[in-house]
Structure formats: C-alpha cells, structure tokens
Amino acid sequence: MSVAAFGVLLLASAPNADRMRQLPLRGRPKLAAGPLLGFVSGREPTGAVRLVRIDPRTLRPSGSRSIRLPFADAWAVAPDGRTLALAVHPDPINEPNSVKLVKLPSLQLQARSMRLGADVSALAWTARHQVVALVGRTWCCPAQLRVVVGDLQSRRVVRREPVPGTVLHIACWKRGLVLLTAPTGAIGPASLVVADARGVRATRLAAIRAGVIPGGGGVSEWHLPGLAVNAAGSKAYVVDPDGSVAEIDLTTLAVSDHRVTRSRSLLARLDAWLEPTATAKGDSGPIRQAQWIGNGFVLVAGRDLHDSEGQLASDPAGLVLIDTRKWTGYVLATQADSFTVANGRLLATGARWRGNVNPTGMGLAAFGPDGKRRFALFDGRDVWIDHIANGRAYVAGYGWKRERIIDLSTGRIVGTRSTAMAPTLLLGQGNPLG
C-alpha cells in the first residue's frame, strides 16, 4: 500500500472514526509580540550574533534596529509576549551565563543582568518576574547539572537544586522545563523531571529504558526514547523504541503505562518499528524524537545507530503517528528519521549513511492534515529542513551550497539561497522545543 493511499485509511478506516478528526499541523508560531525575530551572524566575531527583526518573506534582516550579543545559549519569551529573556556569555569556552532582558517589540535591551553560573542549556518563564534555567553542560562533562530559579526583579537566584542522572531530552512547559533523564553511565529505568518554581520534582518510569554508556573512544551504546510535551496542557509522553509509552501528568507526576498496538493494515511495517533489529556492540542503539501535535496525536521518528564493518552506520527508523486515544501506531514514512510540522504540512526527511560514504536519503515528503501525501521532492538525496516561514520551506542538502526554497502549498521550487545567509529564528515560547 502506498503512503498516499494509507493517508486516506488513517483517518477513515478505523471503526467509528471521526471524519473531522484531522492532524493539527499548525507548528510553532512566531513570537507573540510583533515581528518575527532571529539571530544573525556576519561581521561579528565567531559565535557573536545580532538580534534583529526578520522579514518573513525573505528571511533577511529588516529595519535598522538590532542588538549585538556575545554568545547566546538559550532564550524564552514571557507569557505576555512583552519580554524576551536571553542566556548569554562573553567568551566561547567555559564561561558563566547571565540572563539579559529585551523589551518587545521595541528591541530595547535592559541594562541590568542576572548571573546564573555555568552554561545554560535551557531557559523558561515560571511567573511574571521569574525564570528557571538548566545550568551546566548536558553531554561533554561529568559536572552535576542544576536547576536554577531566578527572580528577575531583584536579579537574584532564589533556588538551586541538582538534577540527578544524565539529561537526554529537554522540553518547555507552561510552568517551566521538562527533562527526560537516565542513570549516569548506564542504560536503565528512565525518569521524568519537572523543573518549575518549586524546584525539581521527579518520577521514575519503570517501563521505559534509557541511557548512554560511554566507550573508550566516545559513546558506545545509546538508548534514547522520545519525549513529547503538551506545552499548553499538563501531559508528557515518553516513547520507548520498543513501543512502550509512559503518559505522565505534569501536575501530579502520576504515570500511566501503555503499549502501542499495531495497525492491521501495516502490521509488518509497524512490527519492524516496535522490534528494532539487534545490532553489534560498539556505537549502537536507537534514538527517537517525539512531538505532541494536538488532537490526541504524537509523532515519533528517529534513527538506529550500529556498527557496520568497523564503521558507524545510521538507518532511519521511520515516521510513526501514535493515536493516544486508542494507543494505535500508524507508519507514515518508512524511510524517515526526522520531521517538521508547520503551515498545515507535515514534512518528513530521512538519511542512511555508513562511515564517511556519501549518504543517501528519501528526499522530502509532505503530508496534509488528512494524512494524504501532497508532494515528494529530491528522491534519493539526504536533505533537511533549515527553516519554515511565510508558507515556504528552506531545504538544505548534503553537498549543496544553496538551499532550495519550496512553496508548501504547491510543492514547487520557487528559488534558491546561499546556506550562509540562514538566520536562527525565534519561534514559539523558547528553545528547545518551545
């Protein structure tokens, strides 16, 4: 059965299916206050950026107003959309971060700042004058990560608490940060950590395995489930590559365990996703990303790393849609390892590579809210989405010097642009996954 044909089946074939229940493919909006903003580099020293207004039609700086910043690690916009908090540091290596505030939409930088200590991996607002930050390096160093709660009126840190284990995924929530953690240096039961104004709260996910085991020359084994958070609601979903899903109430930290069942029409394909092929030791293991898109749906994709004749190899795990009302999984694209949701489209890409050999890929496939495939481009090529703005996708590819600009309504290539010109857009409430 083709992917396009399956799209019709997805929303219409299940018993008592609601025909109006389509995939909500809105994606992350731009900042709530005024124009689209972004970080751009150019004549600044390496790593330094400018915060500027961005023209959504061209993705180029717009207007004369800008703010020169040193090294920006994380950002978050206040719930009322009037203030932007930025975690910045002056030098590139091992420098403590400070939080600076920018008034929106005027782009006025406030003079005072609040010091947080070490590197900041994530930042979120918990109240009108309060932010929470994950401080410390998440991957390279054994130093303990900490959650820091700061009062922006007094510019003081009011709480510091350690985060147990290794942080694997970070997401934003309306009240703070949500972290997926694993035992340090091992693969074992995962934990979900909520970092908010009260500090650190954690719950153990007994049915979900997670972790990273370092090897002599780097990472040896991975097992990374996907984390999806309903940022405006109160639920998180942790999806294990074996098909187990933990549903967590972020207010109470109550956990419900589920098992994704197989779609009868695509039994073999979903079987392959739920039961990854065993791989040799060495750099190996499944890695998943997940996203809550609303209306009871979670999207999951990723890749499986393994050793191939002494070389690190990666195979796509496929793009799967999970219906959390029935706990049923549907495969949308077998060769996908990543996805982007925006402007009424679900965009899927995927690559397959072995060591230093040129990668191949599925190109780009676009689906609509009804699950039908709208168009496919660049078959056989390793491509990825750099940006989506003003109804257009900016697509980069392995070996390309210029991005292809795709009209998402027609699937046509409407232009190209140098990859060196790409800004970092500030979308949603913050990074990461805001």
Q: Say yes or no to pLDDT of 1 above 60.
A: no
Angle at 110 between CA 108 and CA 115, to 5 degrees: 140
pLDDT value of residue 304: 92
Q: The tokens of 222 are what? A: 């991975």
pLDDT value of residue 397: 94
pLDDT value of residue 368: 93
pLDDT value of residue 393: 93
Question: E-strand spans in 56-155?
Answer: 60-69, 71-77, 83-89, 98-103, 108-115, 120-127, 130-135, 146-151
pLDDT value of residue 9: 34
Q: 235 - beta bridge partners?
A: 249
- Rounded to whole angstroms, how far apart are CA atoms 147 and 141? 16
- Rounded to whole angstroms, how far apart are CA atoms 392 and 368? 15
pLDDT classification of 93: cutoffs 50, 70, 90 = low
Predicted confidence (pLDDT) per residue in 215-227, tens digit: 766 567 889 999 9
* Cβ(222)–Cβ(210) below 8 Å: no
Average pLDDT score, the chain: 84
Predicted confidence (pLDDT) per residue in 105-154, tens digit: 899 998 888 988 778 889 999 988 999 999 886 555 545 789 999 999 99
Domains with residue ranges and CATH for the chain: 31-162 (2.130.10.10)
- Rounded to whole angstroms, how far apart are CA atoms 191 and 260? 20
Q: Is the peptide bond before 286 cis (omega within 30 degrees of 0)?
A: no
Predicted confidence (pLDDT) per residue in 24-47, tens digit: 887 777 665 578 899 887 655 556
Cβ atoms within 10 Å, residue 66? 14
pLDDT value of residue 19: 42
Nearest residue to 250 (alpha-carbon basis) of 283, 202, 186: 202
Predicted confidence (pLDDT) per residue in 281-296, tens digit: 556 889 999 999 999 9
pLDDT value of residue 152: 92
Which residue type does 120 have?
V
Q: What are phi and psi of 295, to 5 degrees?
A: 60, 25
* Cβ(138)–Cβ(145) below 8 Å: yes
Q: The tokens of 177 are what? A: 């940060």
pLDDT value of residue 57: 81
Q: Is 406 exposed, middle or buried (0-12, 13-18, 19+ CB in 10 A)?
A: buried
Nearest residue to 326 (alpha-carbon basis) of 305, 347, 295: 295
Cβ atoms within 10 Å, residue 143? 11
Cα Rg, the chain, nearest whole Å: 21
pLDDT value of residue 6: 33
Q: 86 - beta bridge partners?
A: 75, 100
> Average pLDDT, stretch 331-335?
92
Q: Say yes or no to pLDDT of 73 above 90.
A: no
- Rounded to whole angstroms, how far apart are CA atoms 386 and 392? 11
Nearest residue to 29 (alpha-carbon basis) of 68, 100, 91, 77: 77
Query: 277: which residues sit within 8 A by CB, 6+ positions away?
Result: 304
Cβ atoms within 10 Å, residue 218? 8
Nearest residue to 336 (alpha-carbon basis) of 278, 288, 404, 395: 288
Q: Say yes or no to pLDDT of 95 above 80.
A: no
Q: What are phi and psi of 113, to 5 degrees?
A: -140, 170
**H/E element holding 328?**
strand 328-333
- Rounded to whole angstroms, how far apart are CA atoms 123 and 75? 6
Report the percentage of the chain scoring pLDDT > 70: 83
pLDDT classification of 10: cutoffs 50, 70, 90 = very low
Report the percentage of the chain scoring pLDDT > 90: 49
pLDDT classification of 431: cutoffs 50, 70, 90 = confident
Q: Is the peptide bond before 15 cis (omega within 30 degrees of 0)?
A: no
> Average pLDDT, stretch 209-238?
86
pLDDT value of residue 266: 47
pLDDT value of residue 79: 86
From 73-82, 330-339, 401-410, the region with the lowest mean pLDDT: 73-82
- Rounded to whole angstroms, how far apart are CA atoms 163 and 414? 47
Nearest residue to 231 (alpha-carbon basis) of 80, 433, 21: 433
DSSP annotation of 27: B
pLDDT value of residue 228: 96
Q: 149 - beta bridge partners?
A: 132, 159
Nearest residue to 156 (alpha-carbon basis) of 99, 79, 96: 99
pLDDT value of residue 5: 33
Predicted confidence (pLDDT) per residue in 239-283, tens digit: 999 889 999 999 999 999 999 986 655 444 566 666 555 544 556
pLDDT value of residue 182: 94
Which residue bears the tokens 């990543």?
Answer: 338
pLDDT value of residue 312: 83
